[in-house]
Amino acid sequence: MMDEKRRAVIECRHVSKTFYALSGDHLVVDDLNFNVYENEFVVLFGPGQCGKSTILNLISGLEPPTGGEILVSGERVDGPSPKRGMVYQTTNLFMWFTVMQNVEFGPKMQGVPKKERRERAQKYIDLVGLNGFEHQFPVRLSGGMQQRVGIARAYTNEPELICMDEPFGHLDAQTRYLMEEEVERISASERRTVVFVTNNAEEAIYLADRIILLHNCPTSVHKEYTVDLPRPRDYTSPAFLALREQITAEMDKTL
Ligand SMILES: Nc1ncnc2c1ncn2[C@@H]1O[C@H](COP(=O)(O)OP(=O)(O)OP(=O)(O)O)[C@@H](O)[C@H]1O
């Protein structure tokens, strides 16, 4: 069960977001309220185009809300910050940099001395299973390996919060399962506060401490589920399948 005394890393309070355009205003987020607690793995789950990426962009400070406020570690978000790491569906790696250069880029920009940032980058390269690939260029790596680089890059900044926006959406089913297991393993050994976006119920249940089911656009919190199945989870266990059925049926009500 969630211990409400834990420190809130994210506080979304009455958040709304409207995109203004000549063709008409588009209300995408409407009175969104939720907290995410320290070291919690929260999955934002909802139908396609409901506004999940928009919420992550608001939390990471890439977009300002039009109403309400978002606090991260008690401070109002008013722009992007290296304290909030992002992992995207497309890896956005620098193709002309090696794996090591990609992973150490964040600390380098923050002026972390070379020895320290190399050690830090190596720790996370090892953690994601890319030991031996430090000097390869991303183009030589598979999609799953490129996502590992993206994850190592996010962790190497040692952010207080990592946002992952459908990071395995482009991967084939088998690689996706493998990467879900990898994220499970990484977050078991390196606890972080993670907000992970998906529209895949299985992925949500496999990874989440808590699932926030979102309404269709304009989005807000429809329902929350604390997932207390033992880890690593078994996709085929009766409890897993029952929860999947329950959440999928509930999602149909949000459409
Ligand atoms: N910069 C923008 N300007 C105008 N409309 C936008 C902008 N960004 C997102 N939208 C609109 O907001 C709605 C929600 O988009 P968003 O990408 O947040 O949904 P999503 O749930 O992440 O979708 P998916 O599951 O397909 O990735 C969509 O209708 C989209 O067209």
At residue 79, the pLDDT reads: 94
**Residue 106 counted as domain residue:** yes
Single pTM value for the model: 0.94
Is ligand 1 within 6 A of the CB of residue 48?
Answer: yes
- From the CA of 159, how far away is ligand 1's center (Å)? 25
CA distance 245 to 227: 14
Q: Is the model's pLDDT at 1 over the cut of 70?
A: no
Q: Write out the residue range of the structural domain in which residue 139 sits.
A: 94-158
Tell me which residue of 213, 165, 253 sits closest to 45, measured CA to CA: 213
Per-residue pLDDT, averaged over 135-163, amounts to 94
**Residue 142 counted as domain residue:** yes
Is ligand 1 within 6 A of the CB of residue 64?
Answer: no
**Residue 3 counted as domain residue:** no
pLDDT tens for 193-215 read 999 999 999 999 999 999 999 99
**Residue 243 counted as domain residue:** no
**DSSP-derived secondary structure letter, 216:** S
**Residue 194 counted as domain residue:** no
pLDDT-based confidence at 96, cuts 50/70/90? very high
At residue 201, the pLDDT reads: 95
At residue 4, the pLDDT reads: 55
ipTM tops the 0.85 cut: yes
Q: Is the model's pLDDT at 255 over the cut of 80?
A: no
- From the CA of 20, how far away is ligand 1's center (Å)? 13
CA distance 157 to 243: 35
For the chain, what is the domain count? 1
Neighbours of 186 (CB within 10 A): 20
Neighbours of 49 (CB within 10 A): 13
CA distance 116 to 101: 14
**Residue 185 counted as domain residue:** no
What is the average pLDDT value for the chain, to the nearest integer?
93
- From the CA of 79, how far away is ligand 1's center (Å)? 19
For the chain, what percent of residues have pLDDT higher than 70? 98
pLDDT tens for 227-246 read 999 999 999 999 999 999 99
Best mutation site among 23, 44, 52, 203 for ligand 1 pocket (most ligand atoms within 8 Å of CB): 52
Q: Is the model's pLDDT at 5 over the cut of 80?
A: no
**What are the CA-CA distances from residue 108 to residues 72, 137, 239 (Å)?**
24, 18, 45
At residue 90, the pLDDT reads: 82
- From the CA of 55, how far away is ligand 1's center (Å)? 9
Three-state SS letters, 136-171 = CCHHHCCHHHHHHHHHHHHHHCCCCEEEEECCCCCC
